[in-house]
């Protein structure tokens, strides 16, 4: 059962997730945590059973019904260069991957931060931040994981899946939430010590579904095809555009990539 007590039981971090707020329903856990940010402690974790205004990337909605999934956001009160914020999203993807690997082997990252199973999305991550004098005052990492959903609406069922759909087993949402926090803190400490993803690049690339695959890159309204080679220490994706000898770096937020034949 998803409850504050069960979530706390599964968290063994030093800072992140030491304070947990559980809500039966909220508009969006990202919005909720932003409202609490000024008094909230570093690492505050907000988890809701449902969201009535769940937010996806690019202004999209994130469908967030009761009972089945994880909607979680946590607060990082560190002063980080905003240019490094995309790296936090990369780390969040690694943390979710590690958390769900316990339940399913064939799970991958689609650059920069989607988690995919069977060619479909099982998790989305939305990172937001507030800056003050050139550094972040706080960063909010919002994670939605499709855990026990039995079916998706017609318009998204080709693109979305859940752990239940893929394994036929109900998974413990409190346990997965705890596992995400534990893994995130481990990777985040390495990132903060190093100031880059240098020590995490190999692990990320080993789990990247796009690696050595052809992708369609959308950049400023134009599209071209390329081979994805993996990320560098800044989280940028290295690609070799078709018909070009040179390797090019692309940034999340500026471009999006998809498979040449579909989502991956």
Question: Residue from 5, 12, 25, 60 that binds ligand BTN (CB under 6 A)?
Answer: 60
Confirm or reject binding of residue 86 to ligand BTN (CB under 6 A): no
Q: Which stretch binds ligand BTN (CB under 6 A): 12-20, 70-78, 151-159, 256-264?
A: 70-78
Confirm or reject binding of residue 108 to ligand BTN (CB under 6 A): no
Of residues 175, 113, 181, 119, the one with CA closest to residue 147: 175
CB of 125 to ligand BTN, least distance (A): 6
Q: Which stretch binds ligand BTN (CB under 6 A): 8-16, 55-63, 129-137, 159-167?
A: 55-63
Q: How far apart (Å, rounded) are the C-alpha atoms in residues 30 and 42?
A: 15
Kindly write down the DSSP assignment for every residue of 143-198, as one continuous string: EEE--S-----TTTTTTB--HHHHHS----HHHHHHHHHHHHHHHHHHHHHHTSST
Confirm or reject binding of residue 144 to ligand BTN (CB under 6 A): yes
Q: How far out from the chain centre does Cα 74 lie?
A: 12
Of residues 12, 33, 13, the one with CA closest to residue 22: 33
Provide the mask over 32-51, with x wherever binding to ligand BTN is found by CB under 6 A and - wherever it is not.
-------------------x
Residues lying near ligand BTN in the complex (CB under 6 A): 28-30, 51, 54-57, 60, 62, 71-73, 124-126, 142-144
């Amino acid at each position: 059962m998803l409850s504050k007590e069960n979530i706390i039981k599964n968290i063994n971090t030093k800072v992140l997730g030491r304070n947990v707020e559980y809500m039966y329903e909220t508009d969006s856990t990202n919005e909720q945590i932003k409202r609490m940010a000024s008094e909230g402690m570093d690492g505050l974790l907000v988890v809701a059973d449902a969201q009535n205004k769940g937010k996806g990337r690019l202004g999209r909605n994130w469908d967030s019904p009761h009972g089945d999934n994880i909607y979680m956001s946590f607060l990082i009160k560190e002063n980080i260069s905003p240019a490094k914020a995309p790296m936090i999203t990369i780390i969040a993807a690694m943390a979710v991957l590690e958390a769900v690997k316990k339940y399913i082997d064939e799970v991958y990252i689609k650059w920069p931060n989607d988690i995919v199973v069977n060619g479909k999305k099982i998790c989305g991550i939305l990172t937001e931040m507030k800056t003050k004098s050139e550094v972040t005052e706080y960063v909010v990492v919002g994670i939605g994981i499709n855990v026990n959903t039995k079916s998706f609406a017609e318009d998204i069922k080709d693109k979305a899946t859940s752990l239940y759909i893929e394994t036929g087993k109900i998974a413990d949402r409190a346990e997965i939430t705890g596992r995400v926090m534990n893994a995130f803190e481990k990777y985040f400490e390495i990132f903060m010590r190093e100031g880059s993803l240098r020590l995490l690049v190999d692990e990320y690339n080993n789990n990247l579904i796009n690696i050595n695959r052809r992708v369609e890159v959308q950049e400023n309204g134009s599209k071209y095809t390329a081979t994805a080679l993996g990320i560098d220490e800044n989280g940028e994706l290295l690609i070799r555009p078709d018909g070009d000898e040179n390797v090019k770096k692309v940034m999340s937020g500026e471009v999006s990539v998809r498979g040449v034949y579909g989502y991956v």
